[in-house]
Structure 1
């Protein structure tokens, strides 16, 4: 493939990713504004200026579209872990990967989407029974990807060894606890501080306080 063809493919993939992100944010925004039951796939598609058929090319339901932002954040941590130097100790690499992705998320989706939209979507997923299944399904997919990254880094087998899946499950649980505490904190607490503390405690083996 020539350089020009590669650029065209790269541009096409970037446009697809932008459309996917836009549909997910639209689903969150409309569900928060109107209530989940009052939002149709047609409404989400119209908000982004695409057809319902295009929506269905990306997501099988409005719940999946809402959960996509959570899934993408979690997947990015696995990708970031793979990018960490091989010489860096595992838990240091995991912590740096998680903090890097959450720090990026503070600026929204790259188009200045305020993080409050993600917070609102997260509240919606945790409170709405119809969305909780999508939230947990997204978490399971993300944990599997993180486990694969941990296995690569530690020379373990994701199918036969407990270790990579235990690590991924612990990290997923830590992130979930941090997000719930962050949303309920009064006065507000910086999410980066909570996440750093949670992963530090995991790395230390969760010693009794």
Structure 2
């Protein structure tokens, strides 16, 4: 039974990845506004209904890998010792994720670079990252002493951290002279929490 479940989960992950890659490729070739859910499903050789089982819309398909990485980052932060101060815990988790991301597919990076600042995708990005920011805020608040200013302190740290990380990643995507982990470490080092 476990082998069947494992195989089923691997097949689901492969389908989700195929849809994501198809969406990204089509958006890079045609522009995000011209891509339809039907075209993504066709390119991934699945039905429209199958697409809907994995993603609510084309924007979710486009940003799937980004959200997987940010969720992985949240897991890494959560795994840091609870008695550790927030910024060192955040930094260590970000560096670990950067090391794990070292072998990103160059084609995926090139496609991602083409669409990352497209105006029609901004609302989705803001909404998606806003939800994740709330989760980071809660994780950081667990690490701070309980006080009236803790919610604001946690929110400011979460926002600062995620923005610095986005800036570092975008910079590295355009300038890959140094390993991602070095760029992340430098960007987070510029911030004094």
Both proteins in one fold, TM over 0.5: yes
Deviations 1:65-115 (A, max 9, x none): 11222222112111111112334443222112112222222334xxxxx14
Q: How high is the TM-score relative to the length of structure 2?
A: 0.83
Question: Secondary structure at 2:127's aligned position in 1?
Answer: helix
Any idea what the Cα deviations from partners look like across 1:148-195, whole Å, max 9, x if unmatched?
A: 2222333659xx71122111101111012213322444x834332121
SS in 2 for 1:145: helix
Indicate the residue corresponding to 2:182 in structure 1: 193
Contact 2:22 2:40 in 1 (8 A): yes
Conserved 8 A contact 2:99-2:181: yes
CA contact (8 A) 1:63 1:134 kept: yes
2: CA distance, partners of 1:67 / 1:156: 35
Q: Distance in 1 between matches of 2:85 and 2:113?
A: 31
Rounded to whole Å, the distance in 2 between the matches of 1:18 and 1:141 is 25
Q: Are the aligned partners of 1:23 and 1:65 in contact in 2 as well (CA < 8 Å)? A: yes
Contact 1:75/1:145, CA 8 A, preserved across alignment: no
Does the 8 A contact of 1:125 with 1:135 survive in 2?
no
Q: Which runs of 5+ in 2 are unaligned?
A: none
Partner of 2:103, secondary structure, is coil
User: What SS class does the counterpart of residue 63 from structure 2 fall into?
Assistant: helix
Question: Which of 92, 102, 106 is matched with 1:106 structurally?
Answer: 102
Label 1:143 to 1:129 Cα distance change in 2 as closer, same or farther (>3 A). same
Question: What residue is the counterpart of 1:177 in the other structure?
Answer: 167
Contact 1:78 1:146 in 2 (8 A): yes
**Cα separation, partners in 2 of 1:141 and 1:44, compared to 1, 3 Å:** same
Residue 111 of structure 1 corresponds to: none
Structure 1 gap segments, 5+ residues each: 109-113
Larger relative contact order, structure 1 or 2 (CA cutoff 8 Å, min sep 6): 2
Tell me if the contact between 1:23 and 1:55 (Cα under 8 Å) persists in the aligned partners.
Answer: yes
Residues 24-33 or 34-43, more deviating:
34-43
- Point out 4+ residue stretches in structure 1 off by more than 6 angstroms: none
Does 2:64 match 1:65? no
